[in-house]
Structure 1
């Protein structure tokens, strides 16, 4: 039958591809017989024995070139042989690699057809017919070579990222390699903060890089004040002596510490010896103290000692008249 003849031819093709040196299992072609009639001398034709012509195509040659030629010849004649025995053959196309006609098994990929043994990775030449493949610019790659050549690289380990990928700070990371650069902990819901191209958890970032409050010494994270050559929490910016906030927003600075007006003048010795208030204008220095001019008065008659002439008695100023009446 036609199907058996086709199976017979395909087995013969497989034997040639595997380099089997046995003689071809195909049956010998039919013997053509020719009858030659000769006339006897008497005019009667004389029958002679038929001459048999046998063609043997079982040529054996172990060289690769010969084998390839034999395969090509067999493939080329296969269609015509099948046509003779009544089997219609339709070409499956031409291999995208070798350009030859495909008769047996084939692979369809990348919009073309291939011999199974010719559809291989362009790098390592591994056959891709029984495994998956990756395409790049119309060329097939096995999984290993594709990731090695084209997969994104982890910013931490520099290795190829083949599955899950995490993108942060304009770089790619393995999810397990994206952690705090200081403590090595994974980031939670609070996220991360970046410094010099490295990620940090919020705790370590503020500990390492945030300015410290000049009042309490803790990290300043949100609202802050800059004053007296330092950074402050708003609630920590108070008078260094009385610890009261500056209600009017005005403060005095002494040795890098903020002071209210009262305690600044107290430290400077510029509180009036009469009224106890700060002296901001002209003053009179006497009795190891300073006075507003209008507050430097006689301790008895309370008249202003405008001319600066006074007499002292037990640390108090007196005018000459009162001093003479009281102490002379």
Structure 2
């Protein structure tokens, strides 16, 4: 009863020894030879390299089991082949960058592809912090206020004549302050009576409508839109009773505290223009000499 079981155990042990001491692929003996393990199986060096060795990206030869295999994003290199594509210096245990599937040392990458600082014109090395503003790049230490030389970082800034300033320095050096609200004018603005105004602060003294870009009339150092000026101050034509304004150089006729539009200064009988002509008055009417003499 014990004999057959002992025989089976002996056979299993013998089979394991054969598997361990022979190449799993070619079945040649491994005794006294170099071999490699893969997934608990033993292989002679020749079979292992033929079956499993990766091909080197540079020389296209297999990377043998006793050689160091350097891998990057699914690609493999011999240690001696892992070099910068530009200067051929070794990249082993050194920082590098990839561009269009080429490996480059940081110096070559910087010379070829890195941005240059707008201020010092030196290369901004990979890995260093880069500041970008209006399509240009700066070293973080070069991106400073032109006046106080403090780093601007991501703080608000104002540009003048291609130079950048922090807001406090710009206010001290250049900014005008609105005559109305007294706050700084950073862009745009209008000038009225030699004083700066925000566009949104330059309003009609009557209706408070914004006047920037609109026609207006000044009265007693205050600006008025045309409608407000006509309602508040414009004299009325004695003929048509509509407001008379001097906007655009319009001409009007004045006589004994009455005013007329030039086009309205006509004889009340024959309607001939009296501008530049002699005329007669009859109560509130004005007449040409011919009509006045026949009355």
Shorter chain as denominator, the TM-score bin is: 0.3 to 0.5
Larger radius of gyration: 1
Specify which structure has the higher proportion of strand: 2
TM-score normalized with structure 2 length:
0.45
TM-score normalized with structure 1 length:
0.41
